[in-house]
Structure 1
Amino acid sequence: MTFRLPMMPSSTILEVIPSLQYSCFRRNLSYIPTSIPPSTQHLDFSFNYLTTLQRHMFPRLPLLQHLDLTRCHIQNIDNGAFFNVRNLSVLVLTGNPLKYFGRSSINVLEKIHKLVLVEIGLLSLDSLNLQNLTSLKELKLGTNRILCVALPTYSVTFKGFTLLDLHRNNISVIRADDTSVLRQMGSNVTLILSRNPISFIETGAFAGLYFKEINLFDTFISSTVVRDITGGLSGLNVIRLKIGNFEESTWQETVGLLLDYICYQFYIHYCFILLRGYRMSRQQECSYDAFVIYSSKDETWVLDELVENLEKGHPPIQLCLHERDFQAGKSITSNIVDEGIMGSRKVIVVVSQHFLNSSWCQFEFELAQSWLVLRRNASIIIIILEDVEDKKIKRLFRLHKYLKKNTYLKWKGNALSNIRFWARLRKAIIAKN
């Protein structure tokens, strides 16, 4: 619909756009009004009274994308209840004491991306029929009574699935069979298991699994449980790990250091290598003066300048270089931890454009920073090898934060600056922490 404003040129037209959002929030309604405009895309019907969602209860809303039915006292959902809103992308049913799902009640929502079933009294995923929801990306099932992380076998058809939220359920045991479907769902999945009373993880349950993130906050009931289940976590590959906050205060600080830990395809048992290293570091003598983190594309500068001036200078400074000093036949990650970080008094980070583009360099830096926090007498020396774009450094939050708080060295390449550069670098490496 259009209309012409008075006293305006004939070419000026104001278009009236129908409202895309409609709210019935907390209106004590026990029915769905038929007056909801068919153009509505977002409907907030939370905090009302709908004991049963009956067949065709909603008016025809072909454009509706987001439907919020939070705490509407819903106990039953009949087949066909969502037929007239079957183009939904988001459905929120949080806080409803659901006792009955019609077998096809939710299964009709073939275009849905996000399904929120938090605090609905759910006992098992088997009671849901989501077979047709192949576009589902996020499934939130927190604060229920679910006992198992296993997904139904049809879940492997969910295209682009990114989030399984099972926080605050009753999951105490995770067996290898429970993760078989997750194993087939790609590497971009975030798994949230926070506040579950996990006491046992079967060996191999997470072996070969790839996740974007795993959240295990407030999950293990004690540090003793963690030591007992490390075998079950070994072989896990994860980009972001959140773990810690035991009820036992003696472990809160130590394990809390691993919170929000970021790495590249990080095997979980290296977290515990770091913790063991924290306890053993006083008894272990370092083999190297400094471990050098650098991109292989900057190897020429490292060998011709860094090695030449430090190892052949007086006194000689022994460097650990990954291409020269890592043990053959040992995994890269083990070498980084054992030979590089734990085996050196200092860590030198050579920042360049190549460094910023390297996932392995970023991984090594993140690992070194975590070790720096664990072993408080360690230190990181940053060398800015060339001018780099500030926006690229800002994308690496921890590096950007470290550079803002700590003094770093900048390589300029001229004779006078070089003299000062090598003197300052030697002093920083030799200095006791």
Structure 2
Amino acid sequence: MVRSIPNLQSLDLSKNKLRSLDFLAHADLPVLSWLKLSENELTVINETVFLSLPALTYLDLLGNPFTCDCSIVGFIQWVISNNQTQVVNAYQYTCSFPLAKQGSKLLDFDFQSFWMDVNFLCFISSTCLVVLTLLTSFIYHFLRWQLTYGFYLFLAFLYDSKKRKKEAPHCYDAFISYNVRDEAWVYQKMLPVLEGEQGWRLCLHHRDFQPGKPIIENITDAIYSCRKTICVISRHYLRSEWCSREIQMASFRLFDEQKDVLILLFLEDIPAHQLSPYYRMRKLVKRRTYLSWTQAGGHKGVFWQNVRRAL
């Protein structure tokens, strides 16, 4: 509307509920000298609006609900420093927001504190930059080899993870770790059900270990070439040195791969206090559920179904 009257000299827009004056910045009003904007809803004034009115000599903003924060600092500075435009009754303008400053004079607003905040922010930023530079120099000078070593360890971990994903399928479904004195139970009770009826591929040391190879290598290869390890635990098992090595290796794999690779099967009821000397076994029993042959009673079918589910 105002673009069509470029020779406009006086404009009264009071009591129009205006919330912004941005439209004046785009209007072509080169000779506008008298502007009344009293009793509107102007909270923030952008001083650049008045810079687009080169002939402005009279301005009335009385009765507007000004917000006294950092957004109005530019306007206050323009009012104080401007020698061309007379801002009528500027010392009567009051703050309406925030509530803590309600009723205080607009020109009494202490905007210097905002510049102090800016200076403080610059101080904090420069201090952080200096500390970061010193810390980087210290790490490079004293800890660079440790960081390099850690970096290559991380690369090795990533390589190992990718390699495991590309590994061939396991040769067996389960490695059976048992003591030789429990061999009769394994061959007479376990194998007919797990291999004969359920069809699992089991690895047993008397049958599947490679002759001439060191025992510890056979144990390691058997545990890592099977999806699971079943430990057939009895009092004889706990006292066996090689059985201890087998469950130790299976525990290492459990920790290393973070997968459910270990199944505990108790042939006897062994109280927890009797497991105390065998710290690793007691720790596993406290953290993991296990199967008990003696508690199966007359429900052997349910017991073997639980083994099947665990596999």
- Structure 1 length as normaliser, TM-score? 0.35
Compare the two structures and name the one with the higher strand fraction: 1
**Which one has more relative contact order, counting CA pairs under 8 Å at least 6 apart?**
2
Compare the two structures and name the one with the higher helix fraction: 2
